[in-house]
Amino acid sequence: MGFFRALLHFYPASFRAEYEEELAAIFARRLRDASGWPGRLAVSIDILFDTLSNAAAVHWDILRQDLRYALRLLVRAPGFTLTAIAVAALGIGATTAAFTVTDHVLLRPLPFPEPERLVKLWEDQSPQGIPVVEPSPANYRDWKRMNTAFEAMAAYTDISANMVGAGEPERLDGAIVTADLFPMLGVQSALGRVFGAADDRGDAPPTLLLSNAFWKRRFGGDPGVLGRKVILNDVAYVVIGVMPEDLHFPRRTTQFWTPARFVEASFADRTDNYLNVIARLRPGFSIERARSEMRVVAAQLERTYPKENLHLKVSVTSLRDEVSQKSRLLLMAVLGAAFCVLLIACANLANLLLARALARRRELAVRTALGVGRERLVRQLLTESLILAICGGILGVLLAFGALPLLTRLVPNGLPIADVPTIDLRVLAFTAALAIVTGLGFGVVPSMRACGSGADLSGLREGSRGGLGGRKERLRSALVMAEVAGSVVLLVSAGLLIRALWRLEASDPGFRSQGVLAIETMLPMPKYASPARRNQFYSQVLTEARALPGVAGAAYASFLPMVNTGGIWHVTVEGRPPDEVKARDAGLRFVTPGFFATMGIPLHAGRDVGESDRPETPLVAVVSESFVRKYWPGQNPLGRHFAIADATREVVGVAGDVKVRGLERISEPQVYIPYRQLPDGIGQWYGPKELVVRSSADPGALVPTLRQIIGKADRDQPISQVRTLAEIVEADTASRAAQVRVLGAFAAIAFLLAGIGLHGLLSFTVSSRSQEFGVRMALGAQRADILGMVLRDGVRLAMAGLVPGVTLAYLAGRTLSALLAGVNAGDAPTFLTVVGLCFAMTLAGSLLPAIRAIRLDPTLVIRAE
Amino acid sequence: MPDDFPVPASLLPLPEATFHILLAVADADRHGYAIIQDVAARTGGELKLSAGTLYRSIPRMMEQGLLVETRERPAPEQDDERRRYYRITPFGRDVAQAEVRRLAQLLDLARASGFVTGRA
């Protein structure tokens, strides 16, 4: 019989209390009446199913009843209901938004079959200080040949190319891939076919795959594009396929793919590092096993090529983890902040419900007196809080939808995923779970409290009030303290990040960004292989640009700072022993005369490069200050010689340092070489392509004229990028600015919620202590005394939250230190500002209750008693 | 806890179990097990009301005002103190009669369209 009694626990307790005895009696009777053990077994099974199905039905009945009752009550108190829903929506919305982007970037599997088996392989040159280097084709070929850990290995590299011949010339981002890449990823073409081995041979005719977006934009989604010829960098490619819409590989800006078509010469230089290598682990092989195997492969290659592969290891990382540590930390900070907002929202809601439960003491006491069990009441109250949380959840999802455009900026560039995270079933399931947990979280304590000893018959006494400093009051105070502490943590974190952003924005990039327009015109090869033709283009464009009204200077350079950080070469200096390993020492840029003046880069010594610096005159260079500090500290560098890019050059000038890698990173020394001394063979990459124009007027107004000038110099020459240097500097801190905005918004919400919580608690205290205040005033207390009492209460609460909040905030700042750009985690101005804000909030929150307290008329209050 | 008693028609059609329970208590107050036995006897064993169904129906019927629990107990030698006895209310009688009328009209309709021959 014990089993059947236990079964009855599937019924709600209130139902059990009513009918348990009878049900048990009937079970006993049915068992007694059953004949033999088969009969008893049949009866037992029948009772089991009957109990399960009916218990579910009873629960459902009660739920419907509670829902009806709760909805009626909530509609009757619209102010409370709307406030609670709004608070829940803020918490759930913030968390949903943060989860959406974190899930998109960090958690969701990559959009390929069995993505966990995909890995990326890098050359690990840690002894040279560079743990992650793109592999060379020669090493890639050997790794592929010598390993057994991978089912397939493929390589790709980013390129960009000028497309002409189909309307407006255009600069496109694309990728060169080996033919086995797409089969390895498990990607098929949406139209046509992907590359086969025949397309990837050195002598194969050039073929091309288009991205879906590019196909739609440029060819109107015409299936007839297959077989058409497209001219990229003066070479005709035949379109053989269009890739599916959701393929963003290797990055989301990729618009076309061509086969690598390696020839034997591609493998000649083992230190020609430019490939990205990706591989698929054999089924059952762990990444650890692959690593240990690649250690053996690397050691073998080091023995075979002791010079080129000295100390060269192979690093194997999961493709999913190709997110920088900084992006990861940034997203975790945003998610953490969102959870903080959610907790604060829960504390706020719990407080609202506690206050409401006190106001409903009479109702609850009446229901208890009518014989409604405690479990039923708790259940009823939880239903109410769940309704609030679910409504808040629905509103929160809408808020998250609204926040998506801002969140998109938190998605890092280099991943093969879409730029806009989607709010899909997965996210909605998370939000639903969140809403339920939230509803239980903020509902459970208030409802237990409401239905506990406080709800006894004493609640029936008219005018009974919550005991001052009683248990409920302490709980509510603790919740408000937690809210204050949480908002302090968020305010300090946001404040530290704002300070870091300011510090970066105020830091000197090494050039004057205001008033400079930059236009990219990549001169295609082999059309511009001849120096004469190149120089003709530059001089025509620059002469006409310099003649424009308001233009103070114009120049061409290989790369813009912060846009292209590449082009780094080994340097050898006369009189210094050669380095044991080839180090990447200095960035190399080819510039026309006037580059430094146009960019606003100071020339500290010597001269600018000149038109007279020609291939037949002595090879010269302007170097940066840090270059001088590295090689000739404390000496005059002018007239000294060093070798870079296979030629020895004389230093003729010293320019200021430029933060070419962005404001937050350490940049290598720079070497500037006159554009006429560009060696053959590196023209495509190093040939000056960035036109910079300094104007005293709005640089944007120059764009149409400059387009005309460029079009006149070469009708087929596309303009790929137009932006101002100021925009480039701004873009350098854009993800940081987006993060600051998100965290700032969270902090503001938290701060507001904490203020509301404080205000609510003090208002409640004042109204429940009105009699006490009245008596005090009747006995001679001054209004200032009463005001002081209320304000002291507020300050005490704020202080109690502030102290743990400041401690936690310091710890949070320490965790974020990688994002703080050198701002101290204990940054005094930030902390002082937050403490100041906190006191302002306390005053603002206490003011109304305090005014209400001193306006009390003692005679009225006492008479009311 | 209904705000006010509904009209009988608003509860129709009655769930089968509800109708049988009303029939079982129509002539006498009965306790739970007696209702189960009465329903089984009345339907020739065809409808075996389970305890779960019965006790799920009872609170709902009491809420709807069809039944009340009665404090009157039978003679002590026939009583079991665990038992609870239920009595039909006048409203319950009205509802049962309304259901009977509804079924009868249904039957008439069926006869008129030739689905039913002879007496039911």
Most A CBs within 10 Å, among B48, B50, B53, B54, to test the A interface:
B50
Residue type, A35: S
Q: Do B50 and A19 touch (CB under 8 A)?
A: no
Q: Do B36 and A26 touch (CB under 8 A)?
A: yes
Which CATH number characterizes residue B82's domain? 1.10.10.10
The average pLDDT across A809-813 equals 92
Q: Give the whole-angstrom CA distance, residue A427 versus residue A397.
A: 9
Give how far A59 is from chain B: nearest CA, Å.
Answer: 10
Test the B interface: residue of A7, A14, A21, A22 with most B CBs within 10 Å: A22
First to last CA, chain B: 39
Q: Which residues of B touch A55 (CB under 8 A)?
A: 52
Q: Quick check: A422 pLDDT over 60?
A: yes
Residue A724 half-sphere exposure toward CB, CA atoms < 13 A: 16
Cβ-Cβ contacts under 8 Å for B3 (sequence gap 6 or more): none
Q: Which of B33, B56, B60 sits opposite A26 (nearest CB)?
A: B33
Across the strands, what pairs with A279? A119, A153
Which among A22, A46, A53 has the least Cβ separation from residue B32? A22
Provide the pLDDT confidence category of residue A127 given band limits of 50, 70 and 90: confident
Please give the single-letter amino acid code of residue A809: A
Cα separation, A612 vs A616, in Å, equals 10
Instruction: Note the pLDDT of residue A356.
Output: 81
Distance CA(A4)–CA(A25), nearest Å, equals 10
User: What is the per-residue pLDDT across A737-790, written as a single tens digit (0 to 9) for each?
Assistant: 888 888 888 899 888 888 888 888 888 788 778 888 888 888 888 888 888 888
DSSP string, A310-378: TT-EEEEEEGGG-S-HHHHHHHHHHHHHHHHHHHHHHHHHHHHHHHHHHHTHHHHHHHHHTT--HHHHH
A488, A809 Cβ separation under 8 angstroms: yes
Q: Is residue B2 one of the residues assigned to a domain?
A: no
Set of chain B residues whose Cβ sits within 8 Å of the Cβ of A48: none
Give SS3 for A471. Answer: helix
Q: How far from A130 is each of A127, A140, A536, CA to CA, in Å?
A: 7, 18, 40
Question: What is the C-alpha to C-alpha distance for residues A131 and B98, in angstroms, rounded to an integer?
Answer: 87
In this predicted structure, what is the pLDDT of residue A365? 81
CA distance B95 to chain A (A): 21
What residue segments make up the domains of chain A, in order of their start? Answer: 2-61, 115-321, 468-507+728-865, 523-717
Instruction: Please state at what angle helix B16-24 crosses helix B32-42, rounded to 10 degrees.
Output: 100
Q: Is A247 helix (H, G, I), strand (E, B) or coil?
A: coil
**What does the buried/exposed string (b/e) look like for A307-322 if buried means 16 or more CB atoms within 10 Å of the residue's CB?**
ebbeebbbbbeebbeb
pLDDT at B2 over 50: no
Nearby residues of A208 by Cβ (< 8 Å), 6 or more positions away: A230, A232, A237, A238, A239, A240, A256, A257, A258
3-state secondary structure of A606: strand
pTM of the entire predicted model: 0.74
- How many domains is chain B partitioned into structurally? 1
Cβ A143 vs Cβ A316: under 8 Å? no
Of A25, A55, A61, the CB nearest to B82: A25
Tell me the residue type at A540.
Answer: Q
Which of A496-500, A651-655, A730-734, A755-759 is modeled with the greatest confidence?
A651-655
Confidence at residue A142, expressed as pLDDT on a 0 to 100 scale: 94
Q: What is the 3-state secondary structure (H, E, C) of B57-109?
A: HHHHHHHHCCEEEECCCCCHHHCCCCCCEEEECHHHHHHHHHHHHHHHHHHHH
Q: What is the rounded distance in angstroms from the CA atom of residue A519 to the CA atom of residue A514?
A: 15
Residue B119 lies in a domain: no
Top-confidence residue, A109 or A215:
A215
Rg (CA), chain A: 36
Q: Which of B33, B52, B56 sits opposite A29 (nearest CB)?
A: B33
Q: By residue range, what is the domain housing residue B32? A: 13-112
Q: A409-421: buried (b, 16+ CB within 10 Å) or exposed (e) per residue?
A: bbbbeebbbbeeb
Is the CB of B59 less than 8 angstroms away from the CB of A15?
yes
Q: What is the CA radius of gyration of chain B?
A: 16
DSSP letter at A511? S
Distance from CA of B109 to the nearest CA of A (A): 34
What is residue A709's DSSP assignment? H
Helix extents (H) in A77-107:
78-102
Q: How confident is the model at residue A109 (pLDDT cuts 50, 70, 90)?
A: confident
Local confidence band at B3 (pLDDT 50, 70, 90 cut-offs) = very low
Interface of B with A in 25-64 (CB under 8 A): 31-33, 36, 50-53, 55-56, 58-60
Contact A373, A13 (CB under 8 A): yes
Q: Which of A50, A57, A61 lies at the smallest CB-CB distance from B51?
A: A50
Q: Is the pLDDT confidence value at A423 over 90?
A: no
Q: Which residue is closest to A53 within chain B, CA to CA?
A: B52
